[in-house]
Structure 1
Amino acid sequence: MTQIALKPDEATLNLLQTAFPDLSRNNIKTLSQAAVYEAYPARTDICKEGEEGTTLYILAEGEVDIIVHADDNQEILVDSIGPGAYFGEMAFLGETTRMATIRTRQPCRLLSIEEEDFMAIAQANPSLLRTLLRQIIGHIRRTDRAVINELNVKNTALQKTYSELEEQEELRTQFIATLSHELRTPLTSIKGYLGLINSGAMKGDSLQQALDSITRNVNKMVGHTNDLLILYEMHPQKPSFEYLEVADVLIESLNAARSILNDHSSPVTIDIQPDVPKVYADRRGLTLALRALIENAFKYSPAEAPVAIQVSCPKADEVSIAVVDEGIGIAPADKLRLFEPFFRLEKEESAPTLYPGLGIGLTIAKFVMDRHNGRIKVSSTVGLGSTFSLRLPRK
């Protein structure tokens, strides 16, 4: 590696502006004072997973690979990035352990910014500090999504070769990997902001913004923990079938869903046709499945939008329990993936929304229906809402 003193020319300023588009030109000029150029030959590890580091890098020329390691130390290529991209941002949030290995594909030229040099400048420029941290946290979130997607792809082939118990064990392993990445972003954000607060760098409006961010991220982690408990409850146990009153299971499921989502305020109506008999089912499993459907209805609907639960006998040998919402609906292309583990709907707007949770509720519901020799029906219209129906055989 060769280090070259930086002259803040126009090309350098444009590179920093490309990497950090939210920063003003004045902030870019300020940031350039902490940057130096470095050159690396091909097939060189700039950062290594698990090692400590205090440097943020912006790629000026060349291409690098982002690599993570599986439990068996197998290398997984997550992504390749080119000029204008940056990495090593964890150093600026008080997290010095590298979460991935960065390896050059070809000779590369990079801008490097040391945490110590950056903080000396940022202490006197709260606007630069706030804006850069906000963009870096968003970048971490997007990177984590890419890692999760790659882990899912690597595990798909394995899932088809296992028996039911082996499949569930593999899913649980994948869940832990996904959970760790989903928790890392809010934990890193919290740690970074607390470090800045303790050092006195956050004051006035900046302090309140930091506290608001910490609160949001704590709430996000609580939601993930609740999802973890659901998966734990689902993990294979021998079902215990008995004749159950549908109303009793519905009330239990609804109360559980409201409790998990902090007493969600959406009004719920329950309509049970008079000819509906008892169902022969595993109480625990059916409660988990219904709870997952009700939670989704709450989660993907506007605040206080009504949710309807309808119980009927569409066929002589079948009982239907339908959960109807007025939420965002599901695009036809997404319907094919609804029951995949860890799949979550994302609302594409000017600022995309990835809804909270780990994407396992419908996987749980399908698992339960398979055990009951039942099925799940889905009908949905984008922008108008969705209906999920559990169809249970009467015997």
Structure 2
Amino acid sequence: MRLAEFILINMEPILQRWEDFARNLQSSYRLMDVLELRDHAKEILEEIAAELAYPDHERKLDLQGNTPAEVHADTRAVSGFTVDQLLSEFRALRASVLNLWSQRKKTATWFEVEDMSRFNAAIDRALAESVARYTEAQRQSQDIFLGIIGHDLRTPLSAINIGATYLMRSEDADAKLIQLGSRMFTSAVRMQEIIDNLLDFVRSRSGGGIPILLDAVDLRVVSEHIVDEFQVSSPGAVIRAEVTGDVRGRWDGARIGQVYQNLIGNAIQYGANTPVSVVTCGNDGEVVITVHNDGPPIPPAMQKNIFDPTRRGLSISTYSSNRKNMGLGLYIVREVVKSHSGTIEVSSNEKTGTTFTVRLPRLAE
């Protein structure tokens, strides 16, 4: 008997083992019935059996084009299963089938090893589909949650901003209150930047990218404006700005301002009080922006994922042990640059310091 036929004949005992295993995994606060416990297990096994019997068979999908393994991941996520529990279900299914298969009357025929090998491949494929769907669903849920938080924080932040402005401009306020209002206002502005970065992060991860509005822009004006802001907000920082050549082109001025702002802020934060150099240079067909500091170098292992906050792995590095998290700033910089059809790269070592280099085509698409 081939393994495909064996699975179909022994469907009920296999499903019963699946059900028993799932029952042990279910949440204590939400007990599931038999249909929920066996969710799509039969369809997954039937598809695997068909794949074993007919390697070139056309896979059966639902009306939305989903495989049984993908739908199973959706329902398990709703039921509160973790990805580890989802993985353990498939491991148990594999063990259950192979255990029953090993207990049958053996014939030592040539196809037994081939069937087991193809069965493992089919299980691995179903497992990969299920985990991929589960992970994507969890990511989307997290992005929605982050988006809601970002929007909901705008209202209380606006109230703080208004209160800080009142303290700074009140004729009855003394010097201490004016100073307090100034600090509150600066913090509110910083919080607004964080919220904006958070919403941009969610938007870009949803596939929409960073929206840009192209117009004629002079980067000399943009860079000088951002540097002047830092001279006020960070009076202890030494920022050396230089602009050479023609730095005019078609970009989103506000978004390029974000690039300057995040790169300069990052250089000040991690530059260990060393001077920050900001150079904007116009070349044929492009403008190059470099931001440099001579602070501690970024570890090589960290550089390859420096623009991805989900993979940066800050905890493994002493570079960030006594500093604030880099947050989403560098990620937003990369996405803004990509939206302008440009490139960004980082170079960092003990000898030359840390330099971020942005190249923007003069006429962004």
TM-score (norm 1): 0.42
Return the index of the structure with the highest Cα Rg.
2
Q: Where is the strand percentage greater, Structure 1 or Structure 2? A: 1
Q: Where is the helix percentage greater, Structure 1 or Structure 2? A: 2
